[in-house]
Amino acid sequence: MPRDPAGLVRSRPQPAISIDYAGSTLPALPGQSIAAALWAAGVLSWRTTRDGRRPRGAFCGIGVCFDCLITVNGRPNQRACLVPARDGDTVTPQEGHGRADLAR
């Protein structure tokens, strides 16, 4: 039996997928969160606060703090640390709290 982590769990890694982030194509792994895909690509901030336009990205990583809000496929206020990346997703930075788009 293989003694590496993938072998121990009988993992069969899938090919990478891609997401579009602000006009750039970024790779992601199947099952990887959008936050993890952005981190892996060197993107550490994808939202600005409404007061002061301060940069925000992932903070807690478990969906509690809401610092990682992002717009995914036109839907604002998605927690990037909880949303799995799907092939072809369009991800855009979010300014402020994103409530202006909720009227749709």
pLDDT band at 1; cut points 50, 70, 90: low
| 27: its two tokens | 């790779």
Element housing 7 (H / E): helix 5-8
What is the tens place of the pLDDT at every residue in 18-67? 999 999 999 999 889 999 999 999 999 998 888 888 888 888 888 888 88
Task: Judge contact between 49 and 56, C-beta under 8 A.
Answer: yes
Q: pTM for the complete prediction?
A: 0.80
The CA distance from 34 to 37, in Å, is 5
What is the tens place of the pLDDT at every residue in 61-83? 888 888 899 999 999 999 999 99
For each of the domains in the chain, give its residue range(s) and CATH number, in order of start.
14-96 (3.10.20.440)
